[in-house]
């Protein structure tokens, strides 16, 4: 990771400007660093999901109502298929996709 990587900001703040803790060999310090990085990553991932959701909402609002209904139906079909696919594969039963169209 580069020194300018935002995910390292918390670690650098806790350990000084260079990012190296004096006693970074302890398990507690290493777990704290890992937790901090995972927390930052999770927050960034959530922010990306919010932005993508807002973008999709803006696109859907611009569609005609009948097109929105088609998108909703196709999306629901894909999600239902993927749900069945996961539960069937967990039970050891492979399924073949029966897709009419891609969304």
The pTM of this model reads 0.46
End-to-end CA gap in the chain: 36
At 9 the pLDDT is 56
Query: And the tokens for 50?
Result: 């919010």
Separation CA 34–CA 57 (nearest Å): 34
Q: What is the pLDDT of residues 45-68, one digit of tens each?
A: 999 999 999 999 999 999 999 999
- The span from the CA of 57 to the CA of 60, in Å, is 5
Each residue of 62-98: pLDDT tens digit? 999 999 999 999 999 999 988 888 787 766 655 555 5
Q: Cα(83)–Cα(52) distance, rounded to whole angstroms?
A: 22
Coil, strand or helix: which one is 69? Answer: helix
């Amino acid at each position: 990771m580069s020194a300018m990587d935002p995910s390292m900001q918390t670690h650098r703040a806790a350990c000084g400007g260079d990012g190296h803790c004096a006693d970074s060999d302890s398990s507690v310090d290493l777990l704290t660093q890992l937790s901090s990085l995972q927390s930052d990553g999770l927050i960034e991932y959530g922010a990306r999901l919010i932005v993508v959701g807002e973008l999709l909402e803006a696109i859907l609002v611009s569609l005609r109502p009948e097109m929105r209904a088609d998108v909703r139906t196709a999306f629901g079909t894909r999600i239902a298929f993927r749900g069945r696919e996961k539960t069937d594969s967990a039970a050891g039963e492979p399924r073949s996709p029966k897709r009419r169209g891609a969304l």
